[in-house]
Structure formats: C-alpha cells, structure tokens
Amino acid sequence: MADSKHPLMQYLHLPIQAGCNRTLKRMKRRYHLDEMNSFFKRATANIPDLCIGTDLMVGFPGETEEDFAKTCETFVDGPFSYSHVFTYSEREGTPAAKSTDQVPMEERRRRSAHLRRLSASKIYGLSYWQ
C-alpha cells in the first residue's frame, strides 16, 4: 500500500469503538490508545496520504462526560478522515445491558449528534463552528 504504483487504495477503516481507555476497558476491548496511536503513527509515516476512517460508539454504560470528551479529542486530534458514529443500544442478555449505569437515551443522542458534526467538519474541511 505504501508503493504508489501498487493498485491498493491508500485507505483503512479501523473501528476503534472509543477514544477513551476507560471506555475501551469497560467494552472489554483488548487494545488501548497507546497501541492505536503507535499504529497510526507508523501507518501515516509510511503512507502520508493514507485515508483512515473509524467507527465510534457513544453512550456505552458508564461513559461519563469526561470519557466522551476524550473520545472527541482522540477523533479530532487523530489521523481520521471521518467516523461512522453509533449510538449504544441495549442488547438483551449482554453484560452491558444489565449495567446499572446506563447513559440516558437523550444524552446518547446528543453525544452522537455532536460527534457526527465533528466528523462532518473533518470530511468537508470546515471548522466545527462554521
């Protein structure tokens, strides 16, 4: 992919799910921000025009406003060109659905809308505030 003459498109879609180590741990993910950032740094050093997309979930049980802010910061400061944003929804029988610290649905929707605006600002090259 680093060879410009190679037919592979310089594009990766890596669903990181959250940009906050605390949330990743609650999701039982086996990776953390340092690992992701190290990979992204190597990838973009080898492929300067690499397009990186991601998936992010908001409103996972126990996600605080600070956790959400960290996810936003990770996305904005990271090498991502865009994000698909997903709002957490309970799935019967899962440990997360049984959690007592659910984020209210109205707050989940607010967070989703905010992160989608951040993604759109990257896609269209606009300041978030324009």
Q: 17: phi > 0 → left, psi -120 to 50 → alpha, else beta; which?
A: left
- Measure the CA–CA gap between 127 and 130, rounded to whole angstroms: 5
C-alpha of 119 from chain center: 10
Whether 130 has a pLDDT exceeding 90, the answer reads: no
Q: Could you tell me how many residues make up the chain?
A: 130
Does residue 1 lie within any of the structural domains? no
CATH number at residue 74: 3.30.750.200
User: How many domains does one find in the chain?
Assistant: 1
Confidence of residue 123 (pLDDT cuts 50, 70, 90): confident
Query: How many Cβ atoms sit within 10 Å of the Cβ of residue 38?
Result: 10
Residue with tokens 């190679």: 6
Does residue 74 lie within any of the structural domains? yes
pLDDT at 6: 82
Does residue 21 lie within any of the structural domains? yes
Q: 20: phi > 0 → left, psi -120 to 50 → alpha, else beta; which?
A: beta
pLDDT in tens, 25-51: 999 999 999 999 999 999 999 998 899
Task: Tell me which of 34-38, 45-49, 103-107, 112-116 is least confident.
Answer: 45-49
- Per the structure, the complete domain to which residue 21 belongs is given by 11-123
Does residue 5 lie within any of the structural domains? no
Does residue 117 lie within any of the structural domains? yes
Question: CB–CB of 56/71 below 8 Å?
Answer: yes
| Mean pLDDT of the chain, nearest integer | 92
CA R_g for the chain? 16
Confidence of residue 128 (pLDDT cuts 50, 70, 90): low
Does residue 128 lie within any of the structural domains? no
Does residue 46 lie within any of the structural domains? yes
Does residue 2 lie within any of the structural domains? no
Confidence of residue 127 (pLDDT cuts 50, 70, 90): low
